[in-house]
């Protein structure tokens, strides 16, 4: 059927979810295609969901999510007026883009980066200005600064960057902040910051205290392992939060999600131990691949990137045969999530196999 709609929507591919674990006979298979946390939820978090939330699902949740907002505000050293919740950080990013940009406006961000950015930007009717990454997958800061003009309404920085897992250094982040006019916002999307072991990186909350135009997006989906419940948040100047709330999806963050996020904050020590073990697994995989002769940029999130170029699809088929679903960007490369140790062992084996096939 032909129907009247905005032409800009035809320019974007829909968001593609990471593939489920493939079925391979006689073998355990793993989904390592969505940067999820391989650990099951902690018992106290499951209990909080059961006890605090399920009793009143006939009622709407607290739309502002005050209890959680206040907790996140004190955790980040800001006021509750500086925090807004969203249905995952995807929603807070969407709120921000809808707030600042529309037809005729531009949003500058590195590319390749999070696949949702072009979709969210086009959804607002604004134009994406994608700045190609450097050969090592890191943000091209000169390119980003060079792309700024009077139509720029937002700059997005992704630290660590999905899918290349590169870290953004303090000095480079500051160069962007110095170049962007103080009335144009800069979003630091830090979905994976808990995994970032780069000594030279600056968590955006430090910069937030120095610059008036920073928005920081965090999520409970990755380090906190609540991807299925959909809860994220932004820290921003109070008037930006007011604007974001106006365009937010009403009641987007369920009571269940709010309760689970609170319960997760209660056990953040235990969750940090899990994060450390994922980082340990990442280091183990990276060391193994280096000894096989792979050369790739140091990863700083819970995933790493193999730039396989033209042979990407060929390599992807080998991962699938081995029982692993990975994230495939045809013609560019493969993003591999650090999963259960058993899954990581298979990754190491597959990479060895690829090396023997001349990759």
Binding mask 22-51 for ligand PLP (x = CB under 6 A): -------------x----------------
CA distances from 321 to 8, 120, 350 (A): 38, 34, 10
Binding mask 119-138 for ligand PLP (x = CB under 6 A): --------------------
Q: Is 114 in the site for ligand PLP (CB under 6 A)?
A: yes
Residue 203 φ/ψ, nearest 5 degrees:
-60, 140
Angle at 303 between CA 202 and CA 91, to 5 degrees: 70
Of 177-216, binders to ligand PLP (CB under 6 A) are: 189, 191
- Assess 90 for contact with ligand PLP (CB under 6 A): yes
Instruction: Determine if 165 is a binding residue for ligand PLP (CB under 6 A).
Output: no
Task: Determine if 152 is a binding residue for ligand PLP (CB under 6 A).
Answer: no
Q: In this structure, what is the dihedral angle of CA atoms 46, 266, 85, 33, given to the nearest 10 degrees?
A: -60
Torsion sign (Cα): 113, 268, 198, 330: negative
Site membership for ligand PLP, residue 259 (CB under 6 A)? no
What is the number of other CB atoms lying within 10 angstroms of the CB of residue 205? Answer: 18
Comparing CB distances to ligand PLP, the nearer of 128 and 219 is: 219
Contact pattern from residue 211 through residue 240 relative to ligand PLP, giving x for each residue in contact according to CB under 6 A and a dash for the rest: --------x-x-----x----x--------
Q: CA dist 330 to 129, 309, 335, Å?
A: 22, 8, 11
Q: Which residues contact 269 (CB under 8 A, 6 or more apart)?
A: none
- Tell me how far, at minimum, the Cβ of 300 lies from ligand PLP, in Å: 12
Rounded Cα–Cα distance for residues 14 and 3 (Å): 18
**Chosen residue from 41, 88, 110, 169 binding ligand PLP by CB under 6 A:** 88
Count other Cβ atoms within 10 Å, centred on residue 52.
Answer: 16
Q: Which residue in the shown chain puts its C-beta closest to ligand PLP?
A: 88
Q: List the one residue from 29, 89, 95, 248 that touches ligand PLP (CB under 6 A).
A: 89
Residues that bind ligand PLP (CB under 6 A): 35, 88-90, 114, 158, 162, 189, 191, 219, 221, 227, 232
């Amino acid at each position: 059927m032909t129907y009247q709609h905005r032409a800009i929507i035809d320019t974007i591919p829909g968001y593609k979810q990471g593939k489920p674990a493939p079925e391979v006979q006689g073998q355990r298979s793993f989904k390592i295609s969505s940067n999820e946390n391989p650990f099951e939820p902690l018992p106290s978090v499951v209990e909080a969901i059961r006890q605090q939330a399920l009793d009143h699902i006939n009622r709407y949740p607290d739309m502002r999510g005050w209890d959680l907002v206040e907790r996140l505000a004190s955790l980040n050293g800001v006021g509750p007026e500086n925090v807004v919740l969203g249905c995952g950080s995807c929603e807070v990013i969407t709120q921000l883009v809808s707030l600042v940009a529309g037809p005729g406006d531009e949003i500058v961000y590195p590319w390749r980066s999070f696949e949702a950015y072009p979709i969210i930007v086009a959804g607002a009717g604004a134009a994406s200005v994608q700045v190609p990454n450097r050969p090592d997958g890191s943000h091209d800061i000169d390119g980003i600064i060079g792309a700024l003009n009077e139509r720029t309404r937002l700059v997005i920085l992704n630290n660590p960057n999905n899918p290349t897992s590169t870290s953004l250094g303090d000095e480079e982040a500051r160069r962007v902040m110095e170049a962007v006019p103080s009335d144009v916002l800069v979003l630091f999307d830090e979905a994976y910051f808990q995994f970032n072991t780069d000594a030279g990186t600056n968590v955006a909350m430090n910069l937030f205290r120095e610059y008036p135009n920073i928005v920081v997006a965090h999520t409970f989906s990755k380090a906190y392992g609540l991807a299925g419940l959909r809860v994220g948040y932004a820290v921003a100047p109070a008037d930006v939060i007011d604007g974001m709330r106006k365009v937010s999806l009403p009641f987007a963050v369920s009571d269940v999600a709010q309760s689970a996020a609170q319960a997760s904050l209660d056990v953040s020590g235990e969750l940090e131990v899990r994060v450390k073990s994922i980082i340990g697994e990442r280091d183990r995989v990276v060391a193994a691949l280096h000894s096989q002769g792979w050369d790739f940029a140091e990863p700083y999130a819970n995933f790493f990137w193999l730039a396989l170029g033209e042979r990407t699809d060929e390599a992807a088929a080998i991962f699938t045969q081995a029982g692993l679903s990975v994230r495939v960007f045809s013609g560019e490369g493969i993003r591999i999530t650090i999963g259960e140790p058993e899954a990581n062992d298979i990754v190491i084996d597959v990479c060895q196999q690829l090396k023997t096939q001349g990759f």
